[in-house]
Structure 1
Amino acid sequence: MANRVTISCLGPRPLAIEAGTPAQEATDLMIRHWRDQLEKVLPDRPDLIVLPEACDRPDPLRFPLEEQLPYFRARGNQVRDSLADVAKRHRCYIAYPALTEAADGGWLNEMQLIDREGRVVGTYRKNYPTPDESGRRSVRSGKDAPLFECDFGRVAAAICFDLNFDELRLHYAALKPDLIVFPSMYHGGLMQGYWAYSCRAHFAGAVAGGPCTIVTPLGTTAASSTNYYPFVTATVNLDCAVLHIDGNDDLFPAIKRKYGREVTIREPGYLGSVLLASESDRFRAEEIVAEFGLERIDDYFDRTRNSRMIEVEAEK
């Protein structure tokens, strides 16, 4: 059945707080900042709000590194708890990315996922900090890349520089998430669409100071923020399947004749693939796949690999 999820991504530039501002005063300013920012998307009643990387770190151009650690200690969980209150009152998930202090005095660049009850249901730590982060800033590398089980589907996370590493992308591709959230200070360009298509997942990127984007499993942009407004909200349907045209194309007219607007088949051009989605409350996309004997794209590619392997082995 249709699984429509409304996602908001926010990407304002880091809040400018002057050097020398007392840590608690800076914390109060940050809480007020994010309350104001959230008001821009809450009227759309999103199921999930994604904030950008290190969302509550003051702009380092004005707030120097030596003042950040005292600020983070004073901040503690205050910003997170404020966001948790919003999540509970508005019945939404919030992806809260922040820098926190590790037990050994190092830093953690992580994202905590807050659920509709205001509870933290899981944490993802950036697996691939930049050399500057791991060196000068002593940011520790994350060791795990879990999926978060939400009431609308399975969610994976990547933070900023992570998007450059095939090891993480292939890990997620094997796990088959429904959605990848991407808090960042770096847009990633073509990598956003590549990750979405490779993982057969929707992708929600919240980029500080850059376009925020919601991408389909075909790698196409469903919605984007603009230079005027650093936030975007869109509703996507997670009840979908990525299919290759080969072997399936002849069946698409029969599907449309039988189900009409209850099934959408989107074809982006040049890719040779389509996104089939159930828009009905009566059946799921996987039921259409089974009813018409459609072949999912990964099964099609596996069949190609196996055919080649048999041929190679026969020639030995």
Structure 2
Amino acid sequence: MSDSSNKSGRRQFLTMSGAAAVAGTAAAAGSLALPDAVHSDEVNFPTNRLPREVRIATVCQQDLKASSPTAMVAKIVDLMGQTVTSKPDLICLPEVFPVANLSTNRPSAEAIATAPLASLCRPIAEFAAKNRCYVVCPTYVTEGGRCFNAAILIDRDGKDVGTYKKIRLTEGELAKGLAPGPIDPPVFETDFGKVGMQICFDVFWPDGWKRLAEKKAEIVVWPSAFGGGRQIKMAAATNRLVIATSTRKDTSQICDVTGEAIATTSRWNPWAVATVNLEKTVVHTWPIMKVFPEIFARYGDKIRIRTFAEEEWSIVESRSPEVRIADIAKKFGLVPIDEMLRQVEAKQILARKAV
């Protein structure tokens, strides 16, 4: 999970102030273009984070009620506003949240998807630009005459980075004419790392998570109608992913690569924030643990090694801007656990052929 550079440019970017002109990018059914400049000097970003520390915020929609999609978007924006003092880099929102928990009849997916995206997503894009954060904004979109349950990644300038289309639709969604997305999920580049997405029912199929891990996603956002619980923790641990969920009910959570929930919402707090450090790697404890004393002797408190005895995982993490995991791995022969498993499997295949 280490990066080829220490992202010093990102930190300079985070601390700059002044006017940021927000240009629009065409999306599936409209544009997220914002006509006015947005002043980033309204936000004071912290400068004491590690180069690859990412602050993730999530919300839960359970107790939010509204009379229309537009009103629901306004309430979600208000809820997002409560996270601003934590200076999030990424905010996650629930599955097609504009049409959830409405007191009136729910609009059809087609009605939402064929309306100009700016009518619903513009407030989210404005928030992202004003507060200099990425936002995952789930909604319906159309493309090629078909309607999709989707999530749009919006960047710090309020621009559309890209769209993920839900792969595994429910029977109800299929009956309504929604189309499944491409079987190979995209991975999006951000200034802090690679981000992928899954949506709700996708959680029951392990191949989506696996594909994202193989494509080097580091953070996966999971907008959903339900909480996911242990399934999310298993997906995070199995694929060595940071997973941030945002749900319409129960609990939204942020899980580290170990599968541990490091932040959760509850009836008392409808939003949660966690800081994750992507400058780390997961290794199989044996026999790599033999070099741990040498690593400690060289780096001291500039690194942290956390070992899970029963799982035989160890996580080697940089705690200093001066230390890169790639350099430690090269010097001490650390092999990420997934690469180790691929190497062993290749040897197993050769041995099987020799029988």
Alignment TM-score > 0.5, same fold: yes
Distance, in Å, in 2 between the alignment partners of 1:246 and 1:39 is: 46
- 2:160 corresponds to 1:91: no
Q: Percent identity, please.
A: 27
Matches within 5 A, 1:224-243: 224-243=264-283
Moved more, 106-115 or 267-276: 267-276
Distance, in Å, in 2 between the alignment partners of 1:242 and 1:45 is: 27
- 2:138 corresponds to 1:138: no
Tell me if the contact between 1:173 and 1:198 (Cα under 8 Å) persists in the aligned partners: no
Tell me if the contact between 1:218 and 1:274 (Cα under 8 Å) persists in the aligned partners: no
Deviation at 1:229, TM superposition (A): 1.1
Deviation at 1:261, TM superposition (A): 1.9
Tell me if the contact between 2:74 and 2:123 (Cα under 8 Å) persists in the aligned partners: no
Distance, in Å, in 1 between the alignment partners of 2:133 and 2:63 is: 23
- 2:53 corresponds to 1:13: no
AA paired with 1:9?
T
AA paired with 2:61?
P
Matches within 5 A, 1:246-261: 246-261=286-301
AA paired with 1:88?
A
Deviation at 1:155, TM superposition (A): 0.5
Distance, in Å, in 2 between the alignment partners of 1:132 and 1:36 is: 31
Alpha carbons of structure 1 residues 54 and 222: separation in structure 2 relative to 1, 3 Å: same
Matches within 5 A, 1:156-171: 156-171=196-211
AA paired with 1:56?
P
Structure 2 partner of 1:22: none
AA paired with 1:64?
N
Deviation at 1:307, TM superposition (A): 3.4
Across the aligned residues of Structure 1 and Structure 2, the Cα RMSD in angstroms comes to 2.2
AA paired with 1:34?
I
Residues 238-288 of structure 1, C-alpha deviations (whole Å, 9 max, x = no match):
111110101111111221222122111122442111221111111211111
- Matched pairs, number: 305
Alpha carbons of structure 1 residues 275 and 124: separation in structure 2 relative to 1, 3 Å: same
AA paired with 1:37?
L
AA paired with 1:107?
C
Distance, in Å, in 2 between the alignment partners of 1:184 and 1:44 is: 23
- 2:58 corresponds to 1:4: no
Distance, in Å, in 2 between the alignment partners of 1:250 and 1:256 is: 11
Gapped runs of 5+ residues in structure 1? 19-25
Alpha carbons of structure 1 residues 185 and 34: separation in structure 2 relative to 1, 3 Å: same
Residues 138-168 of structure 1, C-alpha deviations (whole Å, 9 max, x = no match):
2211115111100000101000011111232
Distance, in Å, in 1 between the alignment partners of 2:69 and 2:297 is: 58
- 2:121 corresponds to 1:80: yes
AA paired with 1:83?
I
Distance, in Å, in 2 between the alignment partners of 1:85 and 1:286 is: 37
Structure 2 partner of 1:64: 105
Structure 2 partner of 1:39: 81
Moved more, 199-208 or 43-52: 199-208
Gapped runs of 5+ residues in structure 2? 1-5, 7-49
Structure 2 partner of 1:122: 162
Structure 2 partner of 1:214: 254
SS at match of 1:270: coil
Distance, in Å, in 2 between the alignment partners of 1:151 and 1:14 is: 33
- 2:305 corresponds to 1:265: yes
TM-score, normalised by the number of residues in structure 2: 0.80
